[in-house]
Amino acid sequence: MSNESQSQSRATAISQGRRRSTVLPEGYSWLSVPLPTEALNHLHIQARRSAMPFRQYVQTWALDAFPYNHEAGPAIAPEPAPVPVN
């Protein structure tokens, strides 16, 4: 990538003060959230149980997210998908 094209892509950054990622494909964003180790381990386990790579599992999980309300008690989640049989 030439210096001129890099300068142009930086000029069209989405948010002020933050450079556009040169690593991510168009339409993707980074998610950086501190999690307790137990929660992260749980996500990795569920990805393995789903026979999915971790990134794919997290993407699917994020798109399947539903509202959660602490005051109303446990949210009623959609029925879980069956675990694929290998």
What distance in Å separates the CA atoms of residue 58 and residue 78, rounded to the nearest whole number?
17
pLDDT at 10: 53
What distance in Å separates the CA atoms of residue 72 and residue 61, rounded to the nearest whole number?
22
pLDDT at 2: 54
Q: pLDDT: is 60 or 85 the higher one?
A: 60
pTM for the whole thing?
0.56
Sign, CA dihedral 50-53-55-59, equals negative
pLDDT at 1: 52
Kindly report, residue by residue over 7-66, the tens digit of the pLDDT: 555 555 555 666 677 788 888 888 899 999 999 999 999 999 999 999 999 999 999 888
